[in-house]
Structures are given as structure tokens and as C-alpha cells.
Amino acid sequence: MEFIFTRHAKEKMDCLGYAPSEVKETIVKGMKIGPDSRGNMHARMSALEVVFRKLDQKVVVITVFEVKR
């Protein structure tokens, strides 16, 4: 499975200090939510939430953010 990161996702990952491997692990192992009203899926693990879309054998990471508890 190929992971593609949007420019926005890369900027957010850099700002929040998350590596691509952490985002991939969240998508693979995290709790899945969705699809939302735009057809995007959400995956959450610990404080990290990832918004992504699956296209065939590709996963497009749209954005990442931290969940406040």
C-alpha cells in the first residue's frame, strides 16, 4: 500500500512533530471513523487523528491533528 501525503499534511506533521511512520501506524492500527460527509476516513490512536482517503492501493493523507482530551 502506497502512502501519499498532501502538502498540508506534511506541514502539519512537521509542526506537530510526527514522523510519517507514526501517521502510517495510526492509519493501519488505529480506531477508524467514517466516512465523513466528504467521504474521508479518520483514524485515531492516542492523541493523533489522521484524515485520509483510500484510492485503490493508495492512501492519501489529507491532514493530521492532535485530539484534546
| pLDDT over 80 (residue 37) | yes
The amino acid at residue 56 is D
- DSSP symbols for 3-58: EEE-HHHHHHHHHHT--HHHHHHHHHHSEEE---TTS-EEEEETTEEEEEEEETTE
Strand partners, 33: 42
- Residue ranges and CATH numbers for the domains of the chain are 2-66 (3.30.2310.20)
Q: In the structure, what pLDDT confidence band is assigned to residue 10 with cuts at 50, 70 and 90?
A: very high
pTM score: 0.92
Q: What is the average pLDDT value for the chain, to the nearest integer?
A: 95
